[in-house]
Structure 1
Amino acid sequence: TSTSFERHQLRSWYFNSSLESRPPPPPAPSSSPRPSSGVIAGAAAGATMFLVLLFAAAAALLVRRRRRQNIMEMEEDYTDSEDEGEPMTEIEMGTGPRRFPYHELVGATKNFTAEEKLGQGGFGAVYRGYLREPAGLAVAIKRLESSMQGKKEYKSEIKVISRLRHRNLVRLIGWCHGRDQELMLVYELMPNRSLDIHLHGKGTFLTWPMRMKILLELGSALLYLHEEWEQCVLHRDIKPSNVMLDESFGAKLGDFGLARLVDHAAGMQTMTAVSGTPGYLDPECVCTGRASAESDMYSFGVVLLEVACGRRPMSIIAADQDQHKNGGVFRLVEWAWELYGRGAILEAADERLNGSYNTVEVERVMVVGLWCAHPNPAARPSIRTAMATLQPKVNQACCELPVLPSKMPMPMYAPLSPPLTSGNVAGVSSSSSSTVQSLALTDVVGMSSMSTSTTSSKTSSSLLKHHHT
């Protein structure tokens, strides 16, 4: 059997189980499941939100475009055609003054309450305010009238002073204007207000050293405007009420509403209307309509005399006190020139100083004041020469006091403008009384007619010769 083997072959197979069989699993679905109601609601909300945002963005874009168009139209309204049409929006691109929203200035001044009012100018009121940014910064807010002259001053102020940088100029912080809103200018607040208040009001008594410091700082500002900036800036309204004083009684020249820019080579600009304040206004400007650096020097000279003498440039005097027989009007320049001719110029010094002053300085200030207010514009010094004369240095022969005529010369210019009418004197500041204005204008017209009838002429050098009578 060890070599034998056996082969079996299976012919059929059968299996039977007593266990229960499981049913086959359900067939896989042939399509995607039907979305639930929550998914449908979410999709609908998302689509609605998208449409809402789309319409909101379109509306915002439309409003912004319309607002920009309104601003452009408004800027065109406030563009000064005399100054090459530069829009004020260009100023906003710089780092200087900024534009304030109207509501912020209303809040800063407590809705322009009377207790915050600092004063009233020719074309608007000035209020004290405190800004939110920078926090608590004290400012002076000038609220200009929406008249044609007010708009001109507003445009000129922004265009000129926003480009100037000098320690003796009032700093413009910002502005605000709108189509249906008032015109407002925001300046740094000067705690001691204006020089005029301390000279003629209930302010602090100014000693002579304080007065001399103020005059030199005012001259420094004018030197910057006339000769040290890229263009010559004609201020055209230099007077004590526009000379502001800081906490240490340092002087800063403000109110550039009448200012104009001219090239240094031009030196003169013809104006369409008389602008300025009687008493400080150069008679040549009234008669010829020409404004120049020399006309600013006339105003500076009057301020020099006013500070040294403590008297206003013009005032009404009683008939029984009229010593000059000139219609009852006191004129500071004529009065001081008469004392100069008699060799008694120091008699014009402010009596309130009670002799507590440097006589050399007082005489120098008053003589330079007369020199600057010389009736002949060609005989007036430049601001650089005047400043060098006010504060002479050692071995400076060119800074010696000038020798003026003993009698006040007659003006030597011919009128180039049409005759003076009520229409072209509208720009004269209303800070003085109407009576003084009319007397002042009558006086300068009389001076003009007298000068035009005079056929003889003198050179600038001959006008500086002193002839004692």
Structure 2
Amino acid sequence: MPNGSLDMHLFKGKNTLEWTIRYKIATGLASALLYLHEEWEQCVIHRDIKSSNVMLDSSYNAKLGDFGLARLVDHDLGSQTTVLAGTMGYLAPECVTTGKASKESDVYSFGVVSLEIACGRRPVEFGKPNLVEWVWELYGTEKLLDAVDERLTTDLNEQQIICLMTIGLWCCHPDNAQRPSIRQVINVLNFESPLPSLPNKLPTPMYFAPPLQFCTFSYTSSSNGLTGSQGDHTQCSCSSCTNNSSKITMSSPGSSPSVSLLHSNKVSN
């Protein structure tokens, strides 16, 4: 791939991609995901869609790479994986709370990359608000164009920019049932379907899930974020692990979970 990865252009100064190329990359990535999710004999859940895994050929056509975490599932089955995997910032909130990946969690990751393409910002940066939260706030105040990458000064197509950022937010909806399929995404990108109407404020998700053994989580540094993994421990006596049900509230997509363990009528942290 002579033009390297997408993140090298967006964040490492290799080349400031003009808007027509950026939109081409977004539609190409969506087409790749459509093939994986719907057009092959089995559904392929990638589980690690991010800008560093989007490779660009000599004509800046997008190729999705790194299938080390990918899983095959039958088309009529839902999520199968119960081990947390992926890169923080691109992980759907339900993946953090349940460990389960699905087509919907891949769509969430695609949404984050779409926002990166339009805004030229990583999903999480020190000293800056979370990318999804920031763009959603601008969407609610009808100032979406304020989020456009400042390096884009010529050849701007406002209709496409608003389309891509709105799709990015739609894909990043905290409720996975409210996210579009990748086919719906492509229809909107091609202006064959209207833009969705989203809430003015980012919804706050709340999940009720089986308990997670937080002591078994480990995070290792990577060049583009943190990669989470969960061990398979059957016994643990630490105070964070319990056989009781857990109530997990995600304050924002990609953020760390805030956990309260429910013990009968009292709550202990």
Q: Which residue of 2 is the match for residue 113 of structure 1? A: none
Mark the runs of 5 or more structure 2 residues left unpaired by the alignment: 230-251, 261-269
3-state SS of the aligned residue for 2:72?
strand
Q: How far has the Cα of 1:280 moved from its partner?
A: 0.4
3-state SS of the aligned residue for 2:217?
helix
Q: Which residue of 2 is the match for residue 282 of structure 1? A: 92
Q: How far has the Cα of 1:420 moved from its partner?
A: 4.9
Output the CA distance in 2 between the equivalents of 1:370 and 1:442.
13
| Superposition pairs of residues 144-155 of structure 1, within 5 angstroms | none
> Could you say if the C-alpha distance between residues 441 and 204 of structure 1 is closer, same or farther in structure 2, counting changes exceeding 3 Å?
closer
Q: How far has the Cα of 1:441 moved from its partner?
A: 9.9
Output the CA distance in 2 between the equivalents of 1:375 and 1:429.
25
Q: TM-score, normalised on structure 1?
A: 0.48
> Could you say if the C-alpha distance between residues 336 and 191 of structure 1 is closer, same or farther in structure 2, counting changes exceeding 3 Å?
same
The percentage of aligned residue pairs carrying the same residue is: 56
| Superposition pairs of residues 179-258 of structure 1, within 5 angstroms | 190-258=1-69
Q: How far has the Cα of 1:270 moved from its partner?
A: 3.1
Q: How far has the Cα of 1:218 moved from its partner?
A: 0.4
Correspondence 1:265 to 2:76: yes
3-state SS of the aligned residue for 2:80?
strand
Output the CA distance in 2 between the equivalents of 1:441 and 1:252.
26
Q: Which residue of 1 is the match for residue 161 of structure 2? A: 362
Q: Which has the higher helix share?
A: 1
Letter in 1 for 2:159: V
Q: Which residue of 2 is the match for residue 411 of structure 1? A: 205
Correspondence 1:379 to 2:178: yes
Q: TM-score, normalised on structure 2?
A: 0.83
The alignment's C-alpha RMSD in Å is 2.6
- Structure whose alpha-carbon radius of gyration is higher: 1
| Superposition pairs of residues 444-459 of structure 1, within 5 angstroms | 444-446=256-258
Correspondence 1:300 to 2:92: no
Q: How far has the Cα of 1:268 moved from its partner?
A: 1.0
Output the CA distance in 2 between the equivalents of 1:264 and 1:433.
31
Mark the runs of 5 or more structure 1 residues left unpaired by the alignment: 1-189, 318-328, 394-398, 450-469
| Superposition pairs of residues 334-353 of structure 1, within 5 angstroms | 334-353=133-152
> Could you say if the C-alpha distance between residues 205 and 332 of structure 1 is closer, same or farther in structure 2, counting changes exceeding 3 Å?
same
Output the CA distance in 1 between the equivalents of 2:35 and 2:254.
34
Runs of 4+ displaced beyond 2 Å? 412-416, 422-426, 428-434, 440-444
Q: How far has the Cα of 1:410 moved from its partner?
A: 1.2
Letter in 2 for 1:419: L
Whose RCO is larger (CA < 8 A, sep 6+)?
A: 2
Output the CA distance in 1 between the equivalents of 2:254 and 2:18.
36
3-state SS of the aligned residue for 1:285?
helix
Q: How far has the Cα of 1:339 moved from its partner?
A: 0.2
Output the CA distance in 1 between the equivalents of 2:255 and 2:120.
23
**Alignment length (residue pairs):** 240
Judge conservation of contact 1:277–1:431 (CA < 8 Å) in 2. no
Q: How far has the Cα of 1:205 moved from its partner?
A: 1.4
Judge conservation of contact 1:375–1:412 (CA < 8 Å) in 2. no
